[in-house]
Structure 1
Amino acid sequence: MKKVETIKMSAKSLAVLQVVGLAVAFLGGAVYNNIVGDGNGTPIGLGVFIIVFCMTLVVHELLHAVGFLLAGVKPAFGIGFGFLYVTANRLLSVKPMLIAGCLPFVVLSVLSLMLSVVLPMYQHIFSLVFIVNFTGSVGDLWAAQRLWKYINRSGVIVHDQKSGIVVYVKDR
C-alpha cells in the first residue's frame, strides 16, 4: 500500500476551524430560525444549557460509532484536550468512512428540526442541539470534503486514527 495523504488537524487548521465554527454557529442559528420560525420558547438556564450541550456531544460521537458499526467495525472511544472522539482504528473503504463521518450532522440536524416542529414547546432545547451539532460538525465536514475526491477511485482505503485519517492506495 502506498500512503497518499494524511488528513490531520494542524494547529493552524484547528484555529481556522474554530473561527469557522463560530461563524457556522451563527449560520446554524439563522438556518434553524428560518426553517422552524421564531419560537417563543422558554429561555434556557445555565444548568439545562450545560446538560444539553454535553448530551449533544455524546450523542454526536455515538452516531459516529453507529456509522462504524454499520461498516462492521468496532469503534474505539476517547477524550482529547477539549474534545471527544470515536475512531475505527483500522482500515476502511472511503464510503463507510464518509457515512460514519457525516452521520451525526445529518441525523441530529434533521431530528432536531423535526422535533422542533412537532414539539414547539421544547424548541429552545432543540435549537441548542441543532446549533451545537452544526458547529461541532465543522471538522467532520472538513474531513469528508477532503475524502470526497477519493470516493470513486478504486483501491483507496483509509485508516481512521486518533490523530487523523491516513489515505492509502492499494498496490496493483
Structure 2
Amino acid sequence: MAERIDYTPPPKGSLNPGANEEWERLLEGLHEHGFLRFANDLVRSNTQLTQILTNALSREGSMNAIQNLSTLLIALSSIPPGQFHKTAYAARDAFATMEASVRNEHEHDKAPGVSGVFHLLKDEDLWHALTPVIEGLKTFTNSLDRDVERPAADRTGKSSNFQ
C-alpha cells in the first residue's frame, strides 16, 4: 500500500500577493531606504522650494528640455543594443582616423592638387565607403522635411500635453 503524503496547502493568496500586500512591501522598502523621510522633509521644508521648482519646470525652456530628453530616450530605446554598440564604436574609430588625418595633413601641409583628386575619383574603396554615407544623408534630409505637429506623440502614438 502507498504511504500517505503529508501536504498542507499554502494560505490563500500567498502565491500571488494582492495589491495591498504589494503596496505594503513597496511602502516598507521606501521607508527602509530613506525615501519616505526625504519626501516628507522636502514637502514640509518650505513652500518656497516647491514654488521655485514649479516655476522652473513650467517655463517653456524646461518643457522643451523635458520633451527633447523624452524624444531622445524614445529614439535610443528603438535601437537594438548590438547596433548601437557598433555605431558608437564606429563613430569613435572614424573620429580618431579623421583626427590622425588632419594631423598628417598639417605636417605635410600640401594640397592633393588635380592629379590627387583624379586618383580619388578612381578609388573604388572610397566610393564603397561613400555610398552608405550618401544614402544616409538622403534619409536624413527626407526626415528633416517631414513636419511633426506633436513630437512626443509622433513615434509612441500617445497623446502629449506639450506644445
Q: TM-score, normalised by structure 1?
A: 0.22
- In terms of fraction of residues, the more helix-rich structure is 2
How does the TM-score come out when normalised to structure 2?
0.23
The structure whose residues are more often strand, as a share, is 1
Q: Flag the structure with more relative contact order, 1 or 2, with Cα contacts below 8 A and sequence separation at least 6.
A: 1
